Amino acid sequence: MTVSPLSGKRILLLIGGGIAAYKCLDLIRRLRERGAAVRAVLTRAGSEFVTPLSVSALTEDKVYSDLFDLTDEAEMGHIQLSRDADLLVLAPATADLIAKMATGRADDLASTVLLATDTPVLAAPAMNVRMWQHPATQRNVNQIERDGVTLVGPNEGSMACNEYGMGRMAEPMEIVAAIETAFSVPHRPLAGRRIVVTSGPTHEPIDPVRYIANRSSGKQGHAVARAAQMAGADVTLISGPVSIEDPPDVTMVRVETAQDMLAAVETALPADALVMAAAVADWRVVERQEDKIKKADGGVPHSIALTENPDILATVGHAGARRPRLVIGFAAETQNLLENAGAKLRSKGADWIVANDVSPEGGVFGGDRNTVRILHANRVDSLPTQSKDAVAAHLVERIDAFFNGIDTAASLESDPK
């Protein structure tokens, strides 16, 4: 016996108001036969076409029907409804529900659930052919697809309104097939977000062959860029000189100095988030020599005058309207980790600082593992020692939670400051 990909999946079915709503009854049966748990939200218009009783009999669960039903809110808030699901299925997706999704309106339970979620959404449109073809609907459909919603149908055929054309809702088994496909493609919660990540060291030239550098390998920054890209974000990775591979499908910008990096970051804005994982050199040489400094010119150079580089994180952290909604810095410390990282959080205008101990015993520079703490204005979350890829995946999950207004503190060990 083959196990269905739907086995054990939790599906939240949002039933809109259209004649095709009756097909949802069969859809629920088909999904449950394959081992999925189905919970249903019935819109007011949907309940004109199918009764809550028949939906509830098939789901063997209560039917959620009104945002302002206080008992439901107390038992199961609308956020929890979508959080408890692996997939949201909207069927029939009426012109009105699609318009609400496209514009972000939330005036009933179904539209509120759809807005307050980062769970993938599959929509099965159903409407009269002229409504489907109307430029307003087509605009809205394009918008929700850009926002990451997957569509199944509509199909061409004769309609309940005695017309013929595109607009029939996909048949239950087609919707089941689309749901199975949805579970086989990766979850891309950051689709539509622009994230700028910096990585690696900067090199500050002394002369054409010599430079000031640091031990950063770029592994952590590159891992963050890769994880954000895998989560669907549009990623620009601005990297100093490193000897590791570029992550796939990111916009790479290669820079050498801190000044180049600042210019590249400013060009990459606006963005939803900036992750400053680069180990930016604090100083540069005041007068870079055009020609190689020769020993014969006078033995050991007397001194090399340095000047301070711009602080990229602080510049962007205090950039007013151009500041990304989320600004994350890193802090490499060898002593007084929390105190020093906390001071950086405040002075640089960052939302979070990912602090790590880079004392030689830690083996962080160049290594594959990292032990970090994430500082917020009012708390510190300690993460276990893990691979740099795992740290990156964790950070990306938090970035996603931030954009969904979810506080991650509850799920982690946190030390109140």
**Interacting residue ranges for ligand CTP, rule: CB under 6 A:** 258, 276, 278-280, 282, 309, 311-313, 329-332, 344, 348
129, 351, 352 from 399: Cα distances, Å = 41, 11, 10
Q: What angle do CA 11, 14, 20 make, to 5 degrees?
A: 115
Q: How far is the CB of 278 from ligand CTP (least distance, A)?
A: 5
Q: How far is the CB of 312 from ligand CTP (least distance, A)?
A: 3
Of 76 and 314, nearer to ligand CTP (C-beta) is 314
Q: How far is the CB of 288 from ligand CTP (least distance, A)?
A: 17
Of 312 and 380, nearer to ligand CTP (C-beta) is 312
Known active-site residue 161: yes
389, two tokens: 């890829």
d(CA 329, CA 395): 12
d(CA 395, CA 397): 5
d(CA 299, CA 295): 5
Q: How far is the CB of 257 from ligand CTP (least distance, A)?
A: 11
Based on the number of CB atoms within 10 Å of its own CB, is 401 exposed (0-12), middle (13-18) or buried (19 or more)?
middle
- Say which of 161, 209, 409, 412 is annotated catalytic: 161
222, two tokens: 């590159």
Based on the number of CB atoms within 10 Å of its own CB, is 56 exposed (0-12), middle (13-18) or buried (19 or more)?
middle
Q: How far is the CB of 305 from ligand CTP (least distance, A)?
A: 18
Is 221 in contact with 195 (CB distance < 8 Å)?
Answer: no
Q: How far is the CB of 377 from ligand CTP (least distance, A)?
A: 16
Of 211 and 330, nearer to ligand CTP (C-beta) is 330
Of 280 and 326, nearer to ligand CTP (C-beta) is 280
> What one-letter code names the amino acid at 334?
T
Q: Is 164 helix (H, G, I), strand (E, B) or coil?
A: strand
Q: How far is the CB of 400 from ligand CTP (least distance, A)?
A: 20
Of 330 and 402, nearer to ligand CTP (C-beta) is 330
| Dihedral sign (CA 143, 144, 147, 148) | negative
Cα-based torsion angle of the residue sequence 225, 228, 230, 235 in order, rounded to the nearest 10 degrees? -70
Is 50 in contact with 15 (CB distance < 8 Å)?
Answer: yes
Is 140 in contact with 100 (CB distance < 8 Å)?
Answer: no
Does the N-terminal peptide bond of residue 270 adopt cis geometry, omega within 30 degrees of 0?
A: yes
Based on the number of CB atoms within 10 Å of its own CB, is 237 exposed (0-12), middle (13-18) or buried (19 or more)?
buried
* Helices assigned H by DSSP within 161-257: 172-184, 219-230
Q: How far is the CB of 359 from ligand CTP (least distance, A)?
A: 13
Of 124 and 224, nearer to ligand CTP (C-beta) is 224
d(CA 89, CA 21): 13
d(CA 37, CA 12): 8
Active site residues: 161
